[in-house]
Amino acid sequence: MNETEARVAVRRALRALIVPVMLVVFGAGAARAYDRDETYTKSVPFQGAKRVLILNSRGDVKVIGEKGRSDISCEYTKRIRGRSQEEADRLFNLTDVDVTREDGGIKISVRYPDQSRSDRNVIALLMQRYEALSVDVDVMVPAELDVKIITASGDVQLASVLGASEVTAASGSVEATGIGKLRIDVSSGDMTISGVTGNAFLSSASGDIEAHHVSGDAAVRSASGDITLSEIGGDLTAASTSGDVTVNGVRGVVFSGTSGSAQFTGVRGKVAASAASGDVEVVASPTSAANYEIRTSSGQIELRFDNAVKGGFALKAQTTSGDISVTLPIKVTKVTRHYLSGVVREGRSVVVLETASGDITVSEPEE
């Protein structure tokens, strides 16, 4: 048998194997489903614990902080949907939540049935007699504790946790409100944040990010998704690969973008922004001298000052293909169709605006 004949034989053998398996799976799906849903509670005394670690691979996690609380309470709901009551009950009884004390903190981990190596092949997965198995966990903690949550699949909710909170999720949305310090890493899912009294680090590989009222600095990164922020008390460092960025109320801005528009309003400090493709708009209300450097390869640039920059600024604006428009009390030092430089008042700050393809607009309120 030559190589071609061998390949044909292998394909025929695989087809002969797959068809019966698929028939069994689809036939089993027609049977009546068996559902089981039960809720349990476990608690452990606070006893000076500094942090809580929560691990859950299949289900939602909700954590609420409460001032003056003396224990950590975990209410969890086990859910299973199966095509066989016997198999569903067996897996249900093997699933539980362990609450242990270790390294000065409390660990809450969801224990699912262990799959042996032989259970991981394709045929065994197709032949499983349950359709869904998950555990949702609700935890009440003293408000001052630090909280760390790691999930593989499920939504996360955090509220009134005054310590430092950290969330790592492979798939699922994250909501957090009333947090002391926050760090979130999500592979796939949206996040909605409000009321962070410290710094916030927010990262999503795929999903929208929305955050409001962050008292400290914010670092925000999205590979695919829009970013919407407001009332950032400190400085913002933001990066977006694909998606629009909208920020209202921030001190200083450092931004890099690949594809999508970016709009920053209510900027009180300096700006350093670069984009490969997309418009960049900055509306600034500077409280002191500040430098502004904005560059984009393809897109328009608009810089508008709501009030005069103290001490003025030196301006350099350049576009390869586009027009330059300024409404400024400027002393021009050089001007062409695609280039303009000059000095506004004392020229203590520096403003650099460059685009390869697009118009540039700079304006200040008329005196």
CA quadruple 165, 168, 174, 179: dihedral, nearest 10 = 10
- Confidence (pTM): 0.86
Contact 135, 41 (CB under 8 A): no
Q: Quick one: the chain helix, strand, coil %, rounded to 5?
A: 15, 60, 30
**Got the DSSP string for 264-327?**
EEEE-S-EEEEEEES-EEEEE--SS---EEEEESSS-EEEEESSPPTT-EEEEEEEEES-EEEE
In angstroms, the CA 114 to CA 117 distance is 10
Mean pLDDT, to the nearest integer, of 61-66? 98
Q: Encoding tokens for residue 42?
A: 């476990």
For residue range 255-301, what is the model confidence (pLDDT) as tens digits?
999 999 999 999 999 999 999 999 999 999 998 889 999 999 999 99
Where would I find the H helices in the chain? 3-29, 85-94, 122-126
Burial class (CB in 10 A: 0-12, 13-18, 19+), 106: buried
Where would I find the H helices in 164-232? none
Quick one: DSSP state of residue 332?
E
Q: Which of 87-91, 173-177, 186-190, 332-336 has the lowest mean pLDDT?
A: 87-91
Q: How many residues in total does the chain contain?
A: 367
For residue range 308-325, what is the model confidence (pLDDT) as tens digits?
998 999 999 999 999 999
What pLDDT is recorded for position 86? Answer: 86
What pLDDT is recorded for position 99? Answer: 96
Mean pLDDT, to the nearest integer, of 206-233? 98
* pLDDT higher than 60, residue 328: yes
**Hey, CA dihedral for 140, 143, 146, 148, is it positive or negative?**
positive
Quick one: DSSP state of residue 359?
-
What pLDDT is recorded for position 13? Answer: 38
